[in-house]
Amino acid sequence: MAAALVAAAALSGCANTAPSPTTTPPAASAAESATATAAPDTTAPNPAPTTAAPAPAGTRACKAADLSLALVGDEGGGGMMKQAYNLRFTNRSQSGCQLWGSPGVSFVTGDNGQQVGEPATRIERNQGKQVVVQPGATASSPLTITNPNAYPPERCGLAQVRGLRVYAPGDTASMFVDTPQQACSTLGSATMSVGVVD
């Protein structure tokens, strides 16, 4: 009888033993894992190769939070009154995404990013192609800026700008390139043109 009581007590003690707690780190919230506006990148790294094949079904569009942006001079595309550049979009995310069409570009000034003058003219999307940008790879879009001195001062309305506000094709969140210069504020027509991403 005593042996039975001892065995029952031992079993009772096992049943009341709580399991060791486990710790699972909380998942990062969406706000912590992505930002609405990509940080500007004004360096000119050697671009990694892009994949220009048609985007596989389900390939998501690149967003500002996926990209870093650099403005790089194009010595072969300028002229007396025009400067040629390339906007380089680098995929800093962990998965491939696609760009298709022309980015939106405008001059901005002030701490609040007030637009100066007209936005760049854009090429129709159907003249471009879907470009899949793999992690770490880069895709470019040509940008031409006309020198404001090419216009009569009374028409141009010279203004000092801080740089460029850029929207990746199809995106609604902007990126910023720090490039102080003068631009026309009252001309009424675009002094920039931007091509499709390639």
Report pLDDT digits (tens) over 149-196. Answer: 999 999 999 999 999 999 999 999 999 999 999 999 999 999 999 999
Which positions ≥6 away from 85 have C-beta within 8 Å? 71, 72, 73, 74, 142, 143, 144, 145
SS3 169: coil
pTM score, whole prediction? 0.71
Report pLDDT digits (tens) over 15-40. Answer: 444 434 433 333 333 333 333 333 34
